[in-house]
Amino acid sequence: MPARTDYQGPMSHSVELDHVGVTFGTTRAVDDVSFTVEGGEFFSILGPSGCGKTTLLRVIAGFLNPTEGRILIGEKDMTPLGPNQRPTAMIFQSLALFPLMPVWENIAFGLEARGVSKAERRMKADELLKLIALDGYGDRMPGELSGGQRQRVAIARALAVEPQVLLLDEPLSALDLKLRQHMRAELRALQKRTGVTFIYITHDQSEALAMSDRVAVMSAGVVQQVGAPRELYDNPATPFVATFVGETNALSCTVKGIDNGIATVETAHGTLTGRAGDGLSGGAAAKLYVRPEALKPKGGVNRLAATIERIDFEGAFALAHGVAEDGTPLVASIASTELATAPAIGEKSGFGFESANAVVLPDV
Amino acid sequence: MSELYRRFGGGLGTVFLALVGVWLAGMVLAPNVMMIDYALRPNLPPSQIGGPNDVYSLDNILYLANEGVHRAIFFKTVWASALVAFVTFLVCYPMAFWLAQHATVNQTAVVLLALTIPFWINEVLRTLAWYILLAFRGPLNAFLLSLGIIDEPVRWYGDGGVLAGMTYAYILFMLFPIYNAIESLDKSQIEAARDLGASTWRIHWRVVIPHAKAGIATGCVFTFMLAAGSYVAPALLGAPGSRWFTEIIYNWFFEGGDWNRGAAYALVLLVLCLAVVLVTLRIARVSLTEVAK
Structure ipTM: 0.78
Q: Which amino acid is at A288?
A: L
Nearest CB to B188 within list A92, A100, A109 = A92
Exposed, middle or buried by CB within 10 Å (0-12, 13-18, 19+), for B186?
middle
Supply the pLDDT for residue B285.
77
**What DSSP assignment string belongs to A258-296?**
EETTEEEEEETTEEEEEEE-TT--TT-EEEEEE-GGG-B
Break chain B into its structural domains and give their ranges: 69-292
Supply the pLDDT for residue A126.
92
Residues of A in contact with B196 (CB under 8 A): 84, 89, 109-110, 113, 157-158, 161
Nearest CB to B194 within list A83, A101, A158 = A83
Distance, C-alpha A99 to centroid of its chain: 30
Break chain A into its structural domains and give their ranges: 15-234, 247-362
B198: distance to nearest CA of chain A, Å? Answer: 5
Which CATH number is A247-362 given? 2.40.50.140
- Lowest average pLDDT, out of A94-98, A353-357, B187-191, goes to A353-357
Q: Evaluate if residue A111 carries a pLDDT over 90.
A: yes
Interchain CB distance below 8 Å, A109 and B196:
yes
CATH superfamily membership of A15-234:
P-loop containing nucleotide triphosphate hydrolases (3.40.50.300)
Residue spans of chain B under pLDDT 70: 291-293
H or E segment at A118?
helix A118-131
Cα–Cα dist A131/A189, whole Å: 11
- Residue B101, chain A, CB below 8 Å: the answer is no
Of the candidates A89, A95, A58, A44, the one whose C-alpha atom is nearest the C-alpha of residue A207 is: A44
B197: distance to nearest CA of chain A, Å? Answer: 4
Is residue B174 within 8 A of residue B222, CB to CB? The reply is yes
Interchain CB distance below 8 Å, A109 and B195:
no
Supply the pLDDT for residue B30.
93
The fold of B69-292 is MetI-like fold (1.10.3720)
Nearest CB to B210 within list A89, A100, A109 = A100
In percent, the amount of chain A with pLDDT more than 70 equals 97
Cα–Cα dist B227/B244, whole Å: 10
A110: distance to nearest CA of chain B, Å? Answer: 5
Inter-helix orientation angle B213-228/B159-169, to 10°: 130
Q: Return the number of other C-beta atoms located less than 10 Å from residue B219's C-beta.
A: 30
Q: Evaluate if residue A162 carries a pLDDT over 70.
A: yes
Supply the pLDDT for residue B44.
82
pLDDT band for position A8 (cuts 50, 70, 90): low
Higher pLDDT, A276 or B204: B204
Alpha-carbon torsion (A22, A28, A34, A39), positive or negative: negative
Q: Which of A24, A59, A91, A94 to mutate to test the interface with B (most CBs of B within 10 A)?
A: A94
Nearest CB to B199 within list A90, A109, A113 = A113
Q: What is the mean pLDDT of residues A342-358?
A: 83
Higher pLDDT, B84 or A268: B84
Supply the pLDDT for residue A7.
54
Supply the pLDDT for residue A266.
85
Q: What is the mean pLDDT of residues A176-203?
A: 88
Cα–Cα dist A255/B80, whole Å: 88
Phi-psi region of A251 (alpha: psi -120 to 50; beta: other; left: phi over 0): beta
Q: Evaluate if residue A186 carries a pLDDT over 80.
A: yes
- Residue B211, chain A, CB below 8 Å: the answer is yes
What distance, in Å, lies between the first and last C-alpha atoms of chain B? 19
Q: Given the DSSP bridges, would you call strands A165-169 and A88-91 parallel, antiparallel or unpaired?
A: parallel
DSSP state of A80: T
- Residue A162, chain B, CB below 8 Å: the answer is no
Q: What is the mean pLDDT of residues A88-98?
A: 92
DSSP state of A314: -
Give the model confidence (pLDDT) of A48-57 as tens digits.
988 889 999 9
DSSP strands (E only) in A126-205:
165-169, 197-202
**What DSSP assignment string belongs to chain B?**
-HHHHHHHHHHHHHHHHHHHHHIIIIIIIHHHHHHHHHHHS----GGGTTSTT----SHHHHHHHH-HHHHHHHHHHHHHHHHHHHHHHHHHHHHHHIIIII--HHHHHHHHHHHHGGGGS-HHHHHHHHHHHTSTTSHHHHHHHHHTS-SS----TTHHHHHHHHHHHTHHHHHHHHHHHHHTS-HHHHHHHHHTT--HHHHIIIIIHHHTHHHHHHHHHHHHHHHHT--HHHHHH--GGG--HHHHHHHHHHTS--HHHHHHHHHHHHHHHHHHHHHHHHHHT--HHHHH-
Give the model confidence (pLDDT) of A48-91 as tens digits.
988 889 999 999 999 999 999 999 998 889 888 888 889 999 99
Nearest CB to B197 within list A63, A84, A92 = A84
Q: Which residues 107-126 of A have a C-beta within 8 angstroms of B?
A: 109-110, 112-114
Residues of B in contact with A90 (CB under 8 A): 191-192, 195
Which 3 state secondary structure label does DSSP give A344?
coil
- Residue B202, chain A, CB below 8 Å: the answer is yes
DSSP state of A99: T
DSSP strands (E only) in A206-248:
214-219, 222-227
Is residue A197 within 8 A of residue A39, CB to CB? The reply is yes
Of the candidates A190, A180, A184, A134, the one whose C-alpha atom is nearest the C-alpha of residue A159 is: A190
A310: distance to nearest CA of chain B, Å? Answer: 46
Residues with Cβ < 8 Å from A126, sequence gap 6 or more? A104, A135, A138
Q: Evaluate if residue A180 carries a pLDDT over 90.
A: no
Q: What is the mean pLDDT of residues A228-239?
A: 91
Cβ pairs A/B, distance under 8 A: 60
Interchain CB distance below 8 Å, A109 and B198:
yes
